Amino acid sequence: MSQGKIVLMACGSFSPPTYMHLRMFEIARDYIHSLGMGTVVGGIVSPVHDGYGKKDLVAAHHRIAMLKLALRSSGWIKISEWETQQTGWTRTKLSLQYHQDTINSHMSPLNINSEPPSWLPDDILNVNSIDEPDNLNFKLNGNTDDSVTVKLLCGADLLESFSTPGLWSDEDLETIIGRHGLVVVTRVGSDPGRFIYDSDMLYKYRKNVTLVTNYITNEVSSTVIRRLLRRGESAKYLTDDAVLTYIRQNRLYGSIPCVTEYNILTDILANYEKSPQDVIMASPEETSFKNILISIRDKPSIIDETITVKRPKKSNFLMPSNTISPTLDPKPKMAYVDKVPTNYVPGKAVKIISDAKQHSIQEDKGGGCAL
C-alpha span between 181 and 198 (Å, rounded): 18
C-alpha span between 56 and 66 (Å, rounded): 15
Q: Are 240 and 70 in contact (CB under 8 A)?
A: yes
Where does CATH 3.40.50.620 sit in the chain? 5-261
CATH level 2 (architecture), domain 5-261: 3-Layer(aba) Sandwich (3.40)
Q: What is the pTM of this model?
A: 0.66
Tell me the pLDDT of the chain (371 aa) as tens digits: 567 999 999 999 999 999 999 999 999 999 999 999 999 999 999 999 999 988 899 999 999 999 999 999 999 999 999 999 999 999 999 999 999 999 999 888 776 667 889 999 998 887 655 444 555 455 555 555 678 999 999 999 999 998 888 889 999 999 999 999 999 999 888 899 999 999 999 999 999 999 999 999 888 999 999 999 999 999 999 999 999 999 999 999 999 876 543 444 345 445 544 444 444 445 455 444 444 444 444 555 544 444 444 555 555 544 444 444 444 555 555 544 455 556 655 655 555 555 545 555 455 444 444 44
What's the chain's length in residues? 371
Q: Is 205 in a helix, a strand, or coil?
A: coil
